[in-house]
């Protein structure tokens, strides 16, 4: 993972003890929401822990995005401009994000079912 939060500071929004699908889903949700994040490892005597960190100012938006599965855009909480063009741009971005989310979901289902299909069950 690329390091996007400098200096180790920032809010931790997710911690797990395994690297894999749950960690990747959270990172993908944050990316879909337009929130920059970093995955850091912490080695302890009980094992290795993986932390997803975001900037402090994005902490609330990151928790909302994780609860909504990546559908919450960070720009929605900040009111930028109003008007017809701004609204149409937001609608276009939302449709694009939903299409990307649909493709990611379809790929997840395909990855989960392909081993069973290849085994002939």
Domain residue ranges in the chain: 1-77, 79-121
Rounded CA gap, 4 and 15, in Å? 17
Q: What is the pLDDT of residues 49-90, one digit of tens each?
A: 999 999 998 899 888 888 887 554 544 555 556 678 888 888
Angstrom distances, CA of residue 109 to CA of 13, 114, 115, 117: 25, 8, 11, 12
Rounded CA gap, 12 and 34, in Å? 17
Q: Which residue has the higher pLDDT, 26 or 78?
A: 26
Q: How far apart are the first and last CA of the chain?
A: 35
For 57, how many CA atoms within 13 A lie in the half-sphere containing its CB?
A: 4
Nearest to 100 by CA among 64, 67, 71: 71
Confidence grade of residue 5 (pLDDT, cut at 50, 70, 90): very low
Q: What is the pTM of this model?
A: 0.52
Angstrom distances, CA of residue 1 to CA of 8, 23, 50, 82, 116: 14, 11, 11, 36, 30
Those residues whose C-beta lies under 8 Å from the C-beta of residue 5, and which sit 6 or more positions away, are: 36, 37, 38, 53, 54, 55
């Amino acid at each position: 993972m690329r390091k996007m939060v400098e200096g180790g500071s920032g809010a931790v929004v997710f911690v797990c003890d395994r690297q894999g699908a749950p960690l990747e889903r959270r990172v993908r949700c944050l990316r879909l929401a337009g929130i920059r994040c970093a995955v850091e490892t912490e080695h302890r005597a009980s094992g290795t822990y993986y932390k997803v960190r975001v900037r402090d100012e994005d902490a609330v938006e990151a928790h909302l995005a994780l609860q909504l599965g990546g559908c919450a855009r960070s720009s929605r909480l900040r009111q930028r401009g109003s008007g017809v063009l701004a609204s149409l741009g937001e609608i276009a971005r939302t449709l694009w994000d939903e299409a990307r989310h649909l493709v990611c979901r379809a790929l997840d289902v395909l990855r989960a079912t392909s081993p069973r299909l290849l085994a002939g069950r």
